[in-house]
Amino acid sequence: MIDILEIKYAAEGLTKGELDDIWDIMCDCNREFVPPLSSRNSPTQSNLLTGRDDTQTDVDDKPYVYFEEIRKQHFILAEIEGKVIGFLTFKTDHMCDALQDFGVSNYITTVCIDKKYRKQGILSRLYEHMENKLPDSIHCSKVSTRTWSQNDAHAGFLLKRGYTLLKTLPDDRGPGIDTLYFGAKLK
Ligand SMILES: CC(C)(COP(=O)(O)OP(=O)(O)OC[C@H]1O[C@@H](n2cnc3c(N)ncnc32)[C@H](O)[C@@H]1OP(=O)(O)O)[C@@H](O)C(=O)NCCC(=O)NCCS
């Protein structure tokens, strides 16, 4: 499988087929995220707390708003024979309160791998591309991201890859669920 896996930066934007594949993966994995990606559908949900409020309007539990948000960002795709089986989205020249001390970086907003293809090193391949293979025009010597404290797969991966925990926002996503910011300075 790994032989026919293609990892690429979508420099020319996404095809309709790629967008459809990404949408399918997001819908399938929606509830693995904390909070679910579809919780951003609510006009009243301005932060990451998991508690659903009475005025929440998403009825069919699909991440419409989140999808529209990431469509505007940069994509690195993992494809097998033209079908997207995983993706990473990022923003360039990013700065936010939590990353003030770290400085401007390329900031990874989402990573998601089709459930059928997990634990085969695809996340590592996406990060490898992010860190070392972007076009010079958008390359940055700093890469950052955030995840939540229960996401052992992602947080464990980042620490093993040499990322530093930069900031913890306690209970940011609900009781006992912290937001963790990570960053790495590339050589
Ligand atoms: C997190 C996620 C992207 C990992 O993708 P993956 O392709 O399976 O990861 P890889 O196979 O490249 O694994 C890389 C490393 O991550 C770690 N890892 C991956 N899955 C893990 C799991 N379920 N539990 C613990 N560690 C895990 C391992 O350290 C692994 O290193 P190893 O190969 O030396 O064991 C995938 O599980 C996913 O899409 N989850 C849902 C969405 C999500 O949580 N995204 C992150 C927040 S934005």
31 in ligand 1 pocket by Cβ < 6 Å? Answer: no
> How far is 84 from 19, CA to CA, in rounded Å?
9
CB atoms inside a 10 Å sphere around CB 173: 20
Q: Residue 52 maps to which CATH number?
A: 3.40.630.30
120 in ligand 1 pocket by Cβ < 6 Å? Answer: yes
**What pLDDT shows up at residue 130?**
98
Strands (DSSP E) contained in 50-156 are 74-80, 83-94, 105-113, 142-148
What percentage of residues in the chain have a pLDDT greater than 90?
Answer: 86
- Ligand 1: atom nearest CA of 148 is 47
For ligand 1, the distance from its centroid to the CA atom of residue 85, given in whole angstroms, is 14
**What pLDDT shows up at residue 187?**
83
Orientation of helix 64-71 relative to helix 16-29, angle to 10°: 140
Per the rule left: phi > 0, alpha: psi between -120 and 50, beta: everything else, 49 is: beta
Which domain range does residue 16 map to?
Answer: 2-185
Q: Could you tell me if 165 and 182 are in contact, meaning their C-beta atoms sit under 8 angstroms apart? A: yes
pLDDT digits (tens, 9 = 90+) for 148-182: 999 999 999 999 999 999 999 999 999 999 999 99
**What pLDDT shows up at residue 32?**
97
9 in ligand 1 pocket by Cβ < 6 Å? Answer: no
111 in ligand 1 pocket by Cβ < 6 Å? Answer: yes
User: In the chain, how many domains are there?
Assistant: 1
Among residues 71, 72, 74, which one has the least CA distance to residue 135? 74
Below-70 pLDDT ranges, the chain: 1-2, 42-59
144 in ligand 1 pocket by Cβ < 6 Å? Answer: no
